């Protein structure tokens, strides 16, 4: 009987000692094992995902939201807003509100929607309060088509006094503007005067340069794709170094004319034909000087395609991100366009832009 009593005594002593030292052990381990607050983890998002928290842009302030002109949208229509369905709210700051909007189309101002048809469009807004839609009212809608669906960019209650200017803006190529009957092209700052005898059958002309408002036309396709960088840097340039390959193609059985794409002799003038929309502003393609000589539209034979490369990082004017952030480019040819989201890492892409500004190649000679 003495042995069990001795064991019990040892257990009691050990328990008392542990209780006595528990505050000390807790203190030691609190110093040895860092808490999340002590770790100061730099939560860097993977490329292409954007920042986890709201980050300032150059100048220490968020860029002001500039309403996009009606002429910048791929699809513009007048329709009755039949139904609004609220979707999930993203837990970001500001919150991201999602909705599904159902319309009956009354008039298609730009795009291929048919009057009388039904269309369901998604809407995403990142803002402090939920957006309010004019449910049951006649609206003017600006939308883009992506991955087989429509996304609304602008939904406004129809103002009969403004609809004429909306129609005029949408009769123009992307990037052009028309206010109070005066049409302006993206090339007005270049001051090159379009040959006065070259009308090309256009209905509208730039009030400053005389350039006709030329569309892409029908029968051909327009595609934009990122060009892989010469050197891929992990976590830095997943979208490349700013180069995009533009391709027009004719898959039909008859020749197709593309009025907006100009050529001089056998040279296709991509830089003089393409327009880039970025941060609510319109830019001519880098290297454009304006057209003051007689040019002709590109004609594609059946089964043929043509490609050219442009680099929007050579633009002067956009607010380029500091650190790692996304910037979007809407690359336009006539009324066709492709919106490209580009992951910009300043420590890398600032150097690319500096080379482009000096006219230096960003690839090894021979590429």
Identify the band that residue 277 occupies on the pLDDT scale cut at 50, 70 and 90: very high
Predicted pLDDT of residue 168: 86
Domain ranges of the chain: 70-171, 221-358
Predicted pLDDT of residue 29: 37
Predicted pLDDT of residue 57: 39
**What are the start-end ranges of the H helices in the chain?**
2-32, 36-39, 163-170, 346-358
Of 30 and 251, which is predicted with more confidence? Answer: 251
Identify the band that residue 44 occupies on the pLDDT scale cut at 50, 70 and 90: very low
**What is the dihedral sign for C-alpha 347, 353, 359, 360?**
positive
Parallel/antiparallel/unpaired status of strands 149-157 and 118-126: parallel
Identify the band that residue 43 occupies on the pLDDT scale cut at 50, 70 and 90: very low
CATH 2.30.110.10, applies to 70-171: no
User: What are the pLDDT digits (tens) for 49-106?
Assistant: 444 343 433 333 344 454 567 877 889 999 999 999 999 999 888 899 999 999 999 9
Q: Is 262 helix (H, G, I), strand (E, B) or coil?
A: strand
CATH number of 221-358: 2.60.40
Average pLDDT, the chain: 85
3-state helix, strand, coil in the chain (%, to 5): 20, 35, 45
Cα(212)–Cα(193) distance, integer angstroms: 11
What is each CA distance from 181 to 18, 98, 109, 206, 278, in whole angstroms? 88, 37, 17, 11, 25
Predicted pLDDT of residue 350: 98
- Reference 154, options 62, 63, 64, 77; nearest CA is 77
Q: How many helices (H) and strands (E) does the chain have?
A: 4, 17
Mean pLDDT of 180-202: 91
Predicted pLDDT of residue 73: 86
User: What are the pLDDT digits (tens) for 148-186?
Assistant: 789 999 999 999 998 988 898 888 999 998 876 689 999
Chain centre distance of CA 346: 18
pLDDT over 80 at 223, yes or no: yes
Mean pLDDT of 209-224: 96
Q: Residue 316: which residues within 8 A CB-CB, separation 6 or more?
A: 357
pLDDT over 50 at 24, yes or no: no
DSSP 90-133: E-SSS-EEEEEEEEEEEEEEESSPPTT-EEEEEEEEESSS----
**pTM: predicted TM-score of the whole model, two decimal places:** 0.73
pLDDT over 80 at 1, yes or no: no
Mean pLDDT of 134-151: 91
pLDDT over 50 at 209, yes or no: yes
The encoded tokens of residue 105 equal 């189309």
User: What are the pLDDT digits (tens) for 303-318?
Assistant: 999 999 999 999 999 9
Of 48 and 196, which is predicted with more confidence? Answer: 196
């Amino acid at each position: 009987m003495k042995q069990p009593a001795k064991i019990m005594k040892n257990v009691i002593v050990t328990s008392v000692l542990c209780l006595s030292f528990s505050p000390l052990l807790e203190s030691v381990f609190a110093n040895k094992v860092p808490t999340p607050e002590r770790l100061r983890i730099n939560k860097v998002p993977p490329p292409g995902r954007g920042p986890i928290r709201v980050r300032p842009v150059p100048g220490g302030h968020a860029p002001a939201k500039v309403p996009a002109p009606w002429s910048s949208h791929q699809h513009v229509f007048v329709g009755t807003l039949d139904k609004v369905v609220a979707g999930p709210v993203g837990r970001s700051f500001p919150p991201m509100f999602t909705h599904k909007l159902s319309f009956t189309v009354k008039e298609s101002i730009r795009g291929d929607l048919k009057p009388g048809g039904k269309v369901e469009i998604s809407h995403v807004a990142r803002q402090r309060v939920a957006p309010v839609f004019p449910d049951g009212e006649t609206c003017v809608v600006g939308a883009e088509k992506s991955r087989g669906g429509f996304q609304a960019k602008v939904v406004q209650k129809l103002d009969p006094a403004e609809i004429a200017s909306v129609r005029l803006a949408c009769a123009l190529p992307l990037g052009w503007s028309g206010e109070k009957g005066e049409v302006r092209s993206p090339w007005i700052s270049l001051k090159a005067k379009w040959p006065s005898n070259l009308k090309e059958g256009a209905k509208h002309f730039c009030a400053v340069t005389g350039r006709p408002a030329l569309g892409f036309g029908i029968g051909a396709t327009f595609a934009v794709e990122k060009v892989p960088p010469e050197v891929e840097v992990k976590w830095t340039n997943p979208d490349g170094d700013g180069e995009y390959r533009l391709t027009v193609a004719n898959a039909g059985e008859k020749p197709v004319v593309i009025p907006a794409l100009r050529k001089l002799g056998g040279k296709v003038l991509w830089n003089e034909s393409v327009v880039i929309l970025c941060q609510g502003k319109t830019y001519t393609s880098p290297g454009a000087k304006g057209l003051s000589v007689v040019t002709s539209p590109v004609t594609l034979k059946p089964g043929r395609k043509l490609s050219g490369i442009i680099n929007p990082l050579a633009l002067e004017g956009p607010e380029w991100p500091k650190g790692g952030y996304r910037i979007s480019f809407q690359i336009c040819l006539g009324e066709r366009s492709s919106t490209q989201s580009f992951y910009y890492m300043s420590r890398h892409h600032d150097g690319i832009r500096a080379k482009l500004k000096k006219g230096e190649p960003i690839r090894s000679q021979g590429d």
